[in-house]
Structure 1
Amino acid sequence: MSGPGAWLARRDPGFLVVRRAARVTLVACTGFLVSRYALDNAVMAPYALFGAVALGILSQIPGSPAQRARVLLTVLPVGWLLVTLGTLLSVSTATATAGMFVLGFVVSFVGVGGPRLVGLAAGTQLLYILPCFPPYDPGSLGWRLAGLTLAVLLLAAAELVLWPDPTPEPYTAKLGVAVGAVAGCLTAVADGWTGRPQDRDRLTALLPDATETAEALRPSNSPPMERPASAGRRDRALTVAAGTARLLLGRAVDLHDTDAHRATGLPAAASLLRRAASCAGAAAAWLRTEGRDGAPVPDTDDMTAAIDAFRADRAAMPPDGVPADRLRLNSLALSLGEWTRALVAAVRVVAAAPVGPDPTPPAARPGVLWFARESTPRLWWQRLREHLTPRSVYFQGALRLAVALAVARLLAGVLDLSHGFWVLLTILTLLRTQASETRSLLWPALVGTVIGSIGAAGLLLIDIPPVAYALLLPFVMLIGFSAGPLLGLGWAQALFTLVIALVFAQVSPVDWHLAEARVLDVAVGAAVGLATGLLAWPRGGSGELHRAAGTYLAATGRVVRQTVDVLTRGARADGALPQARDAGELASASWALYQTEHHPAPSVDWQATLLAGHHAVRGAEWLLRECPTGRLLPCVQPLAAEADAVATRYERVADALLRRDHVVLAARSPAPPRGDWPTDLGADLYHLADLHVWLDGLRDDLGRIPAASSADADGADVRRRVARLADGATS
């Protein structure tokens, strides 16, 4: 293939953009022409056309064709409500503006429920914007709703039969591949402990592929609309399972690098790893097809039995007098077993299978799978409550957009702009989370609009019959809907201006002044959008990410101190863990937004920064659940000093993030203060080893926060890449 076809194939692999543009064009033109000419209804026609544009072009709906069709039918009642409110509130500029602010905020803010709702936000905003302008005509509401209904029904049918997009690979399938790779790595580690050189080298051979499959699970490597980020149980469980799989891979590398020759209880640890590999393999088999091939839902009983057997073997071997380094492997293996059980339990939640009561003690609650026992409404309320704060990027984005749309609606009413809804449509098109991105789009949008308006004015000056407009409309619309993704915003604005001229020329008498009004409205909308972007959180995700990550690490520093205090002195927990979880939720949301923006190479490895918090929280949960409290009092002083050193480093890094002090961030952590290791605590020495493994891991995590050099990034240091598998590690 050569020429334009080859260029299009390069710019649009699979012709997804062209196929989508063709579907929406056919639906919009069919609904418009049927309403305008077959039914002779000039009120119904614009709603049939713009309803298809709102939900077909401005909205992004993920999933298979059948799933997208179901979403369209599900959102139809919401569209009826928005059109009804817009019609009734258009009675005055004041009511229309107030409605625009409230609905603009609500429709955007519900995006905290997941990427599917984010994808629908812009399109559903237009369903209120279109009817909220004069004329105030409640009597036409029925025809407006009929036009929207026709558009949605045609669009849903088109998703199924007109050049349907290929069904994307399910996230569960990618997760199954990654978990299967982790299972292979665990088996390789256990076999390597047999002493055969070929077995020990097998992990090195498996690790690159396992790392690639684990990296594919990160939200940053998935299309935004396909990330499991909703407030429901299934997506939360998928997020936990993916994060746990990445942690298991890192722990497999830790075990491989630990000297196993002098470790105590090596046969029991090898047996635990093989059982963990078997359970992970069963989870992977179910995930690959979600049980459609007959694979049973994995059960946690096998892993629980393996952990109990390992604990029994460990308890039967008193560790008194054993050097500290010989106990490390046992602690690593036990944490791996616990994480494998959590992974299997998360897969059961994905499969809607029961998971049993929460074994988490009160000091560590809620546990990692707390959501498995909550109702869907409560999960939604919890997600909304977490982000109902000015420190949430979702709250900031919703408020920024609501203010911009309300101001634009007020100006359109006060200035009596004809076709004032174009002002608000421009804001939906241009406004970005970063003021710099909004500013970069300003000139292409204005230049494209002016060029399109000149063409529209020339077209309207020619005395041609309306049927010519009807014949031109689908061709211009198809090119216009394809131009935006393929050629840029300027082309999209120019061609969409022609589309608008062709549409309104068939609905009501117009002249070349329509093009003049289009330029004015776009200029007003661009000015309002730019001013709002400059005044309301202009840095977007970058500015909030520093603050959110700093707050998260400061909270995890308190978790470190509190956990050691509970385990050594038996102190009462004071809520540090729930506070850290809430801070982690906001930090993860800021990181997700940051990845959608354009930034220069950062000096902070944000994935490693989040990992430092995630490991602290997950490790504290596990220690508080599995280790008896108050039993390490004989070594309280050295443990408190070690915990204080780690927590202080967390707090210093947190403060440096808040102040953007990259010198402090790049500083090396001091050598850990390690007191005398008691040798006469009996079985509690194992718990002491568990605690030390956790603290050592946190210190390593903090050392990875400075961004890797280009040599590290481009090199083949797979273990470093494993250590940096971070974002989205918890839910």
Structure 2
Amino acid sequence: MWGWVRERDPGLLVVRRAVRVTVVACLGFYFCRYVLGSAGMAPYALFGVVALGALSQIPGSPRQRARTLIAVLPVGWVLVTLGTMLSVSTVAATAGMFVLGFAVSFVGVGGPRLVGLAAGMQLLYILPCFPPYDPGSLPERLAGLTLAVVLLAVAELVVWPDPVPPPYRHRLADAVTALAGCMRAVADDRARLAELLPEAADRADALRPSRLPPTERPASAGRRDRALSSAAGTARLLLGRVVDLYFTDDREAVTGPAAATLLRAAAGCVAATGDWLRADGPVPDTARVTAAISDFRAARMNTDPNGLPPERLHLGALALSLGEWTKQVVLAVRIVAGEPPPSAPPGQFWYAYEKTPYLWWHRLRENLTPRSVAFQGALRLAAALAVARLIAGVLDLSHGFWVLLTILTVLRASAAETRSTLRPALVGTVAGSIAAALLLLLGLDPLVYVIALPVVMIAGFAAGPLLGLGWSQGLFTLVITLVFAQVTPVDWRLAEQRVADVLIGAAVGVVIGLFAWPRGGAGELQRAVATFLSSAAAVVRETVAVMAQGRTPGDALPAARGAGQLAEASYALYQSERRGPAPVDWQAALIAGHHAVRGAEALVRSCPAGGLLPCVAQLTALAEDVAASYDRSAAKLMRGETPPRPPARTAPQEWPDDLGQDLYIIADLRVWLDGLREDLINITGRPEPGDALRDRVARVADGAT
């Protein structure tokens, strides 16, 4: 038996949590009920622990979770107070349920810590918002909640505490250290890349949100998490660039030695970044790679490219883009360290100098739209809870809060997923209710309930993650029976009421799920990614127009950044849903959009505008070809279809070879556009979350062999 548990719960995290919650809940409940003799205080001492210990998923180390619990205690007081006061009537309680249900859920856009607390905080309003209307009991209720939170915070530190999870920055450190080794290999010994690249690909893959529990993703609105996420995304792009360099012929490359020097400098900066992330070195800076980029540009200026075929300029352009993206990784990590760049122009690091309250407000404001999956999810849940509260009030259900608790349990992001939870939830509830009715019919000594409660509670809290929702619902029904049997006189009809309430809650959840954005994250993800790719197409056209014709930059880049943020939010919700393989690699689609935006920012920042008129026709045609492919992919996604692979390249155009230094700028642009085309190819034909990088890794190994 123990071996089976360890197999399903390797770190015993589920068992640890079940034990902690049970110890604290029973200690608080028994102390209030049998020592203080307070029947009003005892349920809040128990359900306060259930709300914040069982229903909530608080990330971080035991110490961080304890601090979070103490920090949210005042919010809990407010919710219990409002629930108590608004229980004066069904209308007031229902209105409060809708407003608070939406607000508590919607603030989860601020990050995983708030998302993890949402369900538990909902329960703190649900429990007191039912009759009897008794404002005089508020001090007892608040005292019970306070006791629960304080005991739970202490238990996080002393009752079989969880091991400290590896911080995200250590994952990032592993990825960038492996990346630095690959960069050195490309510069000095390409044969070694074949043995280094698989590990580097695994390390980079570990940074993907789909590979991380929701509580461990750097997804908060603060500067630190924004910068960590940016550094991780850029590191993955860098690794793909390293593979591109491997397949680039370097035998006749112009400024090859300077490119190798630039790669070594970039590798050194990336390695220093990894050292700091592990606390093994000082905060990295960009001085070395900036100097290497300047030296490389100087080497290019001192090398006349006239008369050279474009292929001989390709490697240098790739190396330069790699150096520029290395700077982006270092700058992001410096923001994590609290040392933002000297200036914060509109762009990737716009948040570096903004105050934390503004960043939170900005996150809330950008999601306050029906196109935001966070807004949709919050509105869906608020409507379901409000309808359930109204029905419970109209029907005068004696334990109506069970109806709303069922909503929190079964309602999922999509209608299909909600339906999938119904059968186990109903079967488990019915089975648990039958067992509870038999228990009550036996007329056992009350001491039996006292002894049985902690045993059943541990099993119930561990059963959900280990055995499934049905077991969890069945055992939780027994827990509720054992609790109420010690608070008020009950008979077997309590089990009957439990089944009826669960059926009502399940029916409300299904109906709301069918009418309110029934496709969940998948439907909005298609729309959001399509909008992002369409915005990226505008970025491609505008960037070439600025650099070739000297046009003034418009709003294409800001619009694409905003579209990218909504697409990332949609993808985050999609990852939380249970789905089979998809015909679209959504991660690759997002990377295609981000590559367009970040590449455009770097090109516009580093290259003169309007100096490429002699080959404006060729550049415009190439950009239009890439942008049209982005538009086609966006149109297909908007219709719910799989994007097509970009058409084969047309016959090579005649490019001028007598433009002097402008030939290098043209090479930089062409490398960017060619990379975007490759990104679009990576979107289709691979099950999500596949990664085309692995195909190229295999090609490196095959080539070495």
Change (3 A) 1:367 1:307: same
Task: Tell me if structure 2 keeps the 8 A contact 1:669–1:703.
Answer: no
Structure 1 residues 709, 137: closer, same or farther in 2, change over 3 A?
A: closer
The aligned counterpart of 1:593 is 573
Partner Cα distance (2:533, 2:693) in 1: 29
**CA 1:332–1:306: 2 relative to 1, 3 Å:** same
Deviations 1:643-664 (A, max 9, x none): 11111111111101111233xx
Q: Secondary structure at the match of 1:598?
A: coil
How far off its partner does 1:698 sit? 0.8
Equivalent pair of 1:105/1:399 in contact (CA under 8 Å):
yes
Partner of 1:232: 222
**Aligned counterparts of 1:660 and 1:705: Cα–Cα separation in 2:** 14
The question of whether the paired residues in 1 share the 8 Å contact of 2:29 and 2:42 is answered with: yes
**Alignment check: 8 A CA contact 1:80 1:145 kept:** yes
Q: Does 1:209 align with 2:164?
A: no
Partner of 1:384, secondary structure, is helix
Residue pairs, 1:92-103, within 5 angstroms: 92-103=89-100
Find out whether 1:355 has 2:341 as its counterpart. Answer: yes
CA distance in 2, matches of 1:372, 1:317: 38
Q: CA deviation at 1:634?
A: 1.4
CA shift, 1:135, in A, is 1.0
**Which residue number corresponds to residue 339 of structure 1?**
325
Q: Is 1:689 the counterpart of 2:667 in the alignment? A: yes
Structure 2 counterpart of 1:368, which letter? Q
Counterparts of residues 51-62 of structure 1 (less than 5 Å)? 51-62=48-59
Residues of 1 paired with 2:130 and 2:65: CA distance? 30
Aligned to 2:434: 454
> What do the CA deviations read for 1:112-142 (whole angstroms, capped 9, x no partner)?
1111111111011000100111111111111
Distance 2:273 2:328 in 1: 11
Structure 1 CA distance, aligned partners of 2:693 and 2:626?
30
Residue aligning to 1:196:
none
Distance in structure 1 (CA, Å) of the matches to 2:289 and 2:103: 44
- The residue aligned with 1:84 is 81
Deviation sequence 1:339-360 (CA, Å, 0-9, x none)? 11111111111111242113x5
In the alignment, structure 1 residue 129 sits paired with structure 2 residue 129 = no
Q: CA deviation at 1:80?
A: 0.8
Q: Deviations over 1:29-67 (max 9, x none)?
A: 000000011001001100000000001110001111111
Q: Contact (CA 8 Å) 1:60, 1:120: kept in 2 or not?
A: yes
Change (3 A) 1:674 1:695: farther
Report which stretch shifted further, 678-687 or 412-421: 678-687
TM-score for both structures, normalised by structure 2: 0.97
Work out whether 1:50 is the aligned partner of 2:47. yes
1:327 maps to 2:324: no
Quick one: which of 540, 552, 555 aligns to 2:520? 540
1:677 — aligned with what? 655
Q: TM-score, normalised by structure 1?
A: 0.93
Per-residue deviation at 1:713?
Answer: 8.1
Tell me, in whole angstroms, the C-alpha distance in 2 between the residues paired with 1:200 and 1:28. Answer: 60
2:292 maps to: 306
Query: What displacement does 1:668 show?
Result: 4.3
Please list every run of at least 4 consecutive aligned residues from structure 1 whose deviation after the TM superposition is greater than 2 angstroms.
Answer: 461-468, 665-668, 672-676, 707-710, 712-722
Give the Cα separation in 1 of the matches to 2:295 and 2:282. 24
Contact 2:633–2:644 (8 Å) recurs in 1 = no
Cα deviation 1:286-343 (Å, max 9, x = unaligned): 112xx3x4x1111122222221122122112232222111111111111111111111
> In structure 2, what is the equivalent of residue 637 of structure 1?
617
1:317 and 2:308 correspond:
no
Which residue matches 1:416? 396
Q: d(CA) in 1 for partners of 2:39 and 2:96?
A: 26
2:473 maps to which of 468, 489, 493: 493
Measured after TM superposition, the shift of residue 598 of structure 1 is: 1.8
- How far off its partner does 1:466 sit? 2.7
The 5 Å alignment of 1:422-461 reads 422-461=402-441
The alpha carbon displacement at 1:667 in A equals 4.0
Aligned length: 699
Q: What's the % identity of the aligned pairs?
A: 66
Q: Contact 2:646/2:677 (CA < 8 Å) preserved in 1? A: no
Unmatched 5+ stretches in structure 1? 192-198, 361-365, 723-731
- Range with greater deviation from structure 2 (653-662 or 463-472): 463-472
2:600 to 620, 645, 669: 620
Correspondence for 2:231 among 241, 244, 247: 241
1:520-546 Cα distance to aligned partner (Å, 9 max, x none)? 111100000011111111111111111
Deviation at residue 673 of structure 1 after TM alignment: 6.2
Distance (whole Å) between structure 1 residues aligned to residue 644 and residue 429 of structure 2: 48
Q: Gaps (5+ residues) in structure 2?
A: 701-705
Secondary structure of 1:717 counterpart:
helix
Shift in CA distance, 550/716, structure 1 to aligned 2, threshold 3 Å:
closer
Matches of 1:667 and 1:448 in 2, distance apart? 47
Q: Distance in 1 between matches of 2:233 and 2:473?
A: 42
CA positional deviation for 1:675: 3.3
| 1:510 shift after superposition | 1.6
1:21 aligns with 2:21: no
Q: Which residue of 2 aligns with 1:285?
A: 275
Note closer, same or farther for the CA distance 1:19–1:50 as it changes in structure 2 (3 Å cut): same
For residue 270 of structure 1, what is the aligned residue in structure 2?
A: 260
Q: 1:18 aligns to what SS in structure 2?
A: helix
**Separation of aligned partners in 2, 1:377 and 1:496:** 39
1:708 aligns with 2:686: yes
Deviation by residue 1:177-229 (Cα, 9 ceiling, x = unmatched): 111111111111110xxxxxxx2211111101111111111111111110001
Check conservation: 2:104, 2:122, Cα contact below 8 A. yes
Q: State which of 633, 640, 656 in structure 2 corresponds to 1:653.
A: 633
8 Å contact 1:645–1:672 — kept in the other structure? Answer: no
Residue 727 of structure 1 corresponds to which residue in structure 2? Answer: none
Per-residue Cα deviation, 1:412-433 (whole angstroms, up to 9, x for no partner) = 0011011100000000000001
Q: Secondary structure at the match of 2:339?
A: coil
1:505 maps onto 2:485 in alignment? yes
2:703 maps to which residue?
none
- How much does 1:716 deviate? 6.9
Q: Give the whole-Å Cα distance in 2 for the aligned partners of 1:126 and 1:272.
A: 57
Q: Quote the Cα distance in structure 2 between the aligned partners of 1:716 and 1:61.
A: 34
Paired residue for 2:351, among 368, 371, 375?
371
The one-letter amino acid paired with 1:508 is: T
Match of residue 383 from structure 1 = 363
Counterpart position of 2:177 = 180
Moved more, 116-125 or 377-386: 377-386
The code of the aligned residue for 2:66 comes to A
1:237 is aligned with what amino acid? Answer: A
Determine helix, strand or coil for the equivalent of 1:14.
coil
**Counterpart-to-counterpart distance in 2, 1:269 and 1:604:** 36
Q: Is the 8 A contact 2:79 2:124 kept in 1?
A: yes
Mapping of residues 137-176 of structure 1, within 5 Å: 137-176=134-173
Other structure's SS at 1:134 match: coil
Amino acid at match of 1:514: L
Tell me, in whole angstroms, the C-alpha distance in 1 between the residues paired with 2:691 and 2:599.
28
Letter of the structure 2 residue corresponding to residue 492 of structure 1: S
Range moving further from structure 2, 598-607 or 550-559: 598-607
Sort the Cα spacing of 1:577 and 1:721 in 2 relative to 1 into closer, same or farther, 3 A: farther
Say whether the 8 Å CA contact 2:29–2:43 is kept in structure 1: yes
The residue that corresponds to 2:372 in the other structure is 392
AA of the residue aligned to 2:294: D
Tell me, yes or no, if structure 1 residue 476 matches structure 2 residue 456: yes
Contact 1:211/1:721, CA 8 A, preserved across alignment: no
Conserved 8 A contact 1:669-1:699: no
Equivalent-residue separation in structure 2 for 1:354 and 1:500 (angstroms): 52
Q: Distance in 2 between matches of 1:174 and 1:713?
A: 19
CA shift digits 1:6-46 (9 cap, x unpaired): 21111221221111101100000000000011001001100
Asked whether the 8 Å contact 1:642–1:673 carries over to 2, the reply is no
Distance 2:218 2:645 in 1: 36
